Amino acid sequence: MKIITESTPAADGFRMPAEYESHEGCIMIFPERPDSWQYGGYAARRAFSRVAEAIARSEKVTVCASEAQYDNARAMLPEQVRVVEMSSNDAWARDYAPTFVKNSRGEVRGIDWGFNAWGGLVDGLYFPWDKDNRMARKLCDLLETDVYDKRDFILEGGSIHVDGEGTGMVTESCLLSKGRNPDRSREEIEDILKEYLNLSTVLWLPCGIYGDETNEHVDNICAFVAPGEVVLAWTEDEKDPQYAMSKACLEYLEQAVDAKGRHIQVHKLPLPKPVLMTEEECRGLDECWDEPTRRPGERLAASYVNFYISNGNIIMPGFGDPADETAKEILQGLFPEREVVQIYARDILIGGGNIHCITQQIPEHC
Amino acid sequence: MKIITESTPAADGFRMPAEYESHEGCIMIFPERPDSWQYGGYAARRAFSRVAEAIARSEKVTVCASEAQYDNARAMLPEQVRVVEMSSNDAWARDYAPTFVKNSRGEVRGIDWGFNAWGGLVDGLYFPWDKDNRMARKLCDLLETDVYDKRDFILEGGSIHVDGEGTGMVTESCLLSKGRNPDRSREEIEDILKEYLNLSTVLWLPCGIYGDETNEHVDNICAFVAPGEVVLAWTEDEKDPQYAMSKACLEYLEQAVDAKGRHIQVHKLPLPKPVLMTEEECRGLDECWDEPTRRPGERLAASYVNFYISNGNIIMPGFGDPADETAKEILQGLFPEREVVQIYARDILIGGGNIHCITQQIPEHC
């Protein structure tokens, strides 16, 4: 593995492919920490395993497990899933794994961004985060891809989306948060994204999903489904604080123009009714950083936008809500060639994210 | 990774290739434990890194490092060497990694033998050995090869050699030791070797190198250099306890016939003068299992036979002995197409083995 410090993906002719382009495979992490996941991760491991199984129907899946969980992961996961030992502080592959870029010859490289648990000592979610922050490089080593060192810039994979044709999409609430790169201006941040993801246009949604602890990652509110086309998490309930947030995003998107000069077509994806933590669920969680991780009645950042596009399927969350079926039908209509698989994901949501957050695609390479 | 329990390599048409056949690559483990390696492994890590670098000149090298040593391994090893995180109890890849077998279509599978630290509670060398015993399976998972489960049979890779044409070679002292498979007869053990390595003849040398703590692994005294041809560690000093041991092996080999009906051609490889632990070296080692690992004046099992055959080189130990050069010339004569690289290996020897013990080849596969 070569560590590249003297050039950038754009300078070298590499770009980040869209998630709907062909994958080599997918990276996941086996969940374990008892302050993120109920009952020492018991329920989450079952949900993650279902996600891994669904993705493995059409692409290779590599699951990273701690030494302690390795045997258990191997026993729970189907034999076509590869399990490798790798330490982490938690299980958010989207945010710790490298962002992969690819050139026109089909070579793939990784980008190793800095990671500080979604805000470091300002508003990060746990301490320490050193094992997470080492994963991108370890994964590049494992996969034998060279890696760009950009650890001086804090970024999570869940905070960016790209259309594969020169357009990126982020949220202001996250990328301009005080806990990430407070000394960089919006223009400097945009320039880094353009240089590392090889973009000419960055769309800046104002915000994300209400209560999303990641400072509102874009991948929970809005996702490209094709160049020039997005799904946006939506509610018709004007009294819901999410209404104004989704509306602000819609208004931004309605005036936006992408890298190819296209106006963005927005498909509204309904939100489930607010998903609230129960007392029983709270009892299943250890404390984190000297505080309860969740409190009874706390609203979780549930959204159907947090799906994963595999080579053959759309793997999307379900919440046992009437909107589950509507959202599934909308996504199935938008991805007619990929069968939508809906997985009951409350046990992932409790950890603070969803299916997109726990997966990271590796582009197909030569 | 499929775990195969219902058949055997021979039944499936797989055989263990000789080490001088083409490799896909080599597995090593970064040394760390302070009761095996002086000064917390400091000197050994440098020696192991030199070995990895030499092997990486002609084949891929994957080095397994603990979480604690990962960054250090990455910094010490050249970029063409892959480092992966994997837990172990010590650093003997030959003995923990799978034995690989291959079929005529070029498919490769692993064998997961049981491992009990060279003798378990009878005369094993440390406790516990659970992480080592998990490595073969983890490595097969990592390399995406299916694996034969033979954990009910205790065997180390260093205790077997094969010529690739149906002949295996072991020592009685090791394979019939009380700490490994005491309930199996010599005939049963031979049958398992034949079935799993796909052999028709097993040569049973009586013993190995004097003081070799592995119950005298074959890979420290005798190695195939071609079908029908071996090197044998040899001393002309009749007062050395090794003399009778090497002579017994020579006499056995002189009457032996291999799987192809050939008599074995024996090339004597001189031994260095006895290599003794110094007081200073003993001070650099922590205690193991409530006893000093080594004592001043203790003789180490030094032997030039403990070399590794890579695709392009012979990587052999040197001890700062006048015989270093003689042994190198002999091996160079026997492997005219591979350049011999001699690495000063006292810091590996102190751990109890040498270059062959810390490496495991993966056959070239389709």
Q: Catalytic one among B222, B288, B357, B366?
A: B357
Using DSSP, state whether B83 is helix, strand or coil: strand
Question: Does the beta-carbon distance from A83 to B134 stay under 8 Å?
Answer: no
Pick from A118, A151, A76: nearest CA to A289:
A118
Q: Report the mean per-residue pLDDT for chain A.
A: 97
Question: Does the beta-carbon distance from A82 to B1 stay under 8 Å?
Answer: yes
Quote the pLDDT of residue A289.
Answer: 85
Facing B79 at nearest CB: one of A2, A70, A79? A2
- Give A67's contacts in chain B (Cβ within 8 Å): 67, 87, 131
* Arithmetic mean of pLDDT, B252-276: 98
Number of A to B CB contacts under 8 A, please give it.
Answer: 50
Question: Does the beta-carbon distance from B70 to A138 stay under 8 Å?
Answer: yes
* Arithmetic mean of pLDDT, B280-295: 92
Confidence at B190, pLDDT banded by 50, 70, 90 = very high
Confidence at B366, pLDDT banded by 50, 70, 90 = confident
Dihedral, A93, A1, A53, A285 alpha carbons, nearest 10:
-30
Pick from B202, B203, B204, B210: nearest CA to B245:
B210
pLDDT digits (tens, 9 = 90+) for B123-163: 999 999 999 999 999 999 999 999 999 999 999 999 999 99
The single-letter code of the amino acid at B23 is H
pTM above 0.90?
Answer: yes
Choosing among A141, A142, A143, A151, which should be mutated to test the B contact, i.e. which has the most B CBs within 10 A?
Answer: A141
How close B103 gets to chain A, by Cα (Å)? Answer: 21
Question: Does the beta-carbon distance from B2 to A71 stay under 8 Å?
Answer: no
Question: Does the beta-carbon distance from A84 to B84 stay under 8 Å?
Answer: yes
Question: Does the beta-carbon distance from B82 to A137 stay under 8 Å?
Answer: no
Taking CA–CA distances from B4, the nearest residue in chain A reads A79
Question: Does the beta-carbon distance from B2 to A79 stay under 8 Å?
Answer: yes
Place of tokens 């701690």: A66
Pick from B83, B146, B145, B159: nearest CA to B114:
B159
Facing B144 at nearest CB: one of A82, A85, A144? A82
Confidence at B86, pLDDT banded by 50, 70, 90 = very high
Question: Does the beta-carbon distance from B67 to A87 stay under 8 Å?
Answer: yes
pLDDT digits (tens, 9 = 90+) for A181-193: 999 999 999 999 9
Q: Is A266 left (phi over 0), alpha (psi -120 to 50) or beta?
A: beta
Quote the pLDDT of residue B308.
Answer: 98
* B357 labelled catalytic: yes
Query: Which pairing describes strands B60-65 and B23-29: parallel, antiparallel, or unpaired?
Result: parallel
**Element at A24 (helix H, strand E):** strand A23-29
pLDDT digits (tens, 9 = 90+) for B34-77: 999 999 999 999 999 999 999 999 999 999 999 999 999 999 99
Confidence at B222, pLDDT banded by 50, 70, 90 = very high
Confidence at B289, pLDDT banded by 50, 70, 90 = confident
How close A80 gets to chain B, by Cα (Å)? Answer: 6
Question: Does the beta-carbon distance from A3 to B79 stay under 8 Å?
Answer: yes
Taking CA–CA distances from B143, the nearest residue in chain A reads A82
Distance of alpha carbon A226 from its chain centroid, rounded? Answer: 17
Torsional sign, CA A206, A210, A214, A219:
negative
Taking CA–CA distances from A60, the nearest residue in chain B reads B144
Facing B85 at nearest CB: one of A1, A74, A138? A138
Quote the pLDDT of residue A366.
Answer: 80
Dihedral, B44, B49, B52, B54 alpha carbons, nearest 10:
-110
Phi and psi angles of residue A148, each rounded to the nearest 5 degrees, phi first: -85, 130
* Arithmetic mean of pLDDT, B6-13: 98
Question: Does the beta-carbon distance from B134 to A70 stay under 8 Å?
Answer: yes
Residue ranges of the domains in chain B? Answer: 3-363
Cβ pair B98, B147 in contact under 8 A: yes
For residue B269, is pLDDT > 90? yes
* Arithmetic mean of pLDDT, B71-97: 98
The single-letter code of the amino acid at B83 is V
Q: Does residue B3 sit at the A interface (CB-CB below 8 Å)? A: yes
**Element at B232 (helix H, strand E):** strand B229-234
Residues 58-117 of chain B whose Cβ lies under 8 A from any Cβ of chain A: 67, 70-71, 74, 79, 82-87
How close A138 gets to chain B, by Cα (Å)? Answer: 7
Choosing among B141, B142, B147, which should be mutated to test the A contact, i.e. which has the most A CBs within 10 A?
Answer: B141
Choosing among A5, A71, A85, A151, which should be mutated to test the B contact, i.e. which has the most B CBs within 10 A?
Answer: A85
* Arithmetic mean of pLDDT, A300-315: 98
Question: Does the beta-carbon distance from B141 to A84 stay under 8 Å?
Answer: yes
- Give A86's contacts in chain B (Cβ within 8 Å): 85
B26-41: b (≥16 Cβ within 10 Å) or e: bbbbbbbbbbbbbeeb
Taking CA–CA distances from B2, the nearest residue in chain A reads A79
Query: Which pairing describes strands B3-4 and A360-363: parallel, antiparallel, or unpaired?
Result: unpaired
CA distance A101 to A110: 6
- Give A137's contacts in chain B (Cβ within 8 Å): 74
Quote the pLDDT of residue A10.
Answer: 98
Q: Report the mean per-residue pLDDT for chain B.
A: 97
For residue A343, is pLDDT > 90? yes
Superfamily (CATH H level) for B3-363: L-arginine/glycine Amidinotransferase; Chain A (3.75.10.10)
Facing B85 at nearest CB: one of A3, A82, A86? A86
Choosing among B60, B138, B145, B147, which should be mutated to test the A contact, i.e. which has the most A CBs within 10 A?
Answer: B138
Strand order of the β-sheet with A308-309 is A308-309, A313-318, A339-344
Fold held by A8-363? L-arginine/glycine Amidinotransferase; Chain A (3.75.10)
Question: Does the beta-carbon distance from A2 to B144 stay under 8 Å?
Answer: no
For residue A290, is pLDDT > 90? no
A233 burial level (CB within 10 Å; 0-12, 13-18, 19+): buried
Confidence at B290, pLDDT banded by 50, 70, 90 = confident
